[in-house]
Structure 1
């Protein structure tokens, strides 16, 4: 029995959806939380993105490439949230 490979389109949809969630969570953290709590919001967003990545990759029902898709999803979310963290840090420094 051979496994069918996941189509490239579905592979990227499952990865980029987690990145989009990270962008939405980063923006929401800046809007909802005060200056001292923004980093807590980013940490919660990373946790949600990790769970969403597991869910998205399990929903594809493909064993082949699971680790690659999972690591790409989470690493992208980490990079997005690190950039947002730097931006919010600079904003809080500028505000005094």
Structure 2
């Protein structure tokens, strides 16, 4: 007896959604956190992105490529948050 296939969903959409969440979280941290606490809050935001990536990829219901999709989501989120954090650091450096 064959198992029924789930409808094919856009797998890259879940990865990009986590990247967009990472941009929003990094911008929120950069705007609302004190400059000396931004470095402490960015890993917390990355941890939240990890859990969201895990939940999104579990929602797809397919085990093939699960680790690759979660890894791409978290690695992209880390790079995006690092770039946004570096931008805020440079802005703080030149602002005063």
The two structures have a TM-score, normalised by structure 2, of 0.87
RMSD (Å), alpha carbons? 1.9
Shift of 1:41: 2.2
**Deviations along 1:21-74, whole A, 9 cap, x unmatched?**
100001100111011111222111101000001000001010011011111101
Aligned residues: 95
CA 20–28 in structure 1, closer or farther in 2 if over 3 Å, else same = same
Q: Which runs of 5+ in 2 are unaligned?
A: none
Aligned ranges for residues 12-91 of structure 1 at < 5 Å? 12-91=12-91
The two structures have a TM-score, normalised by structure 1, of 0.87
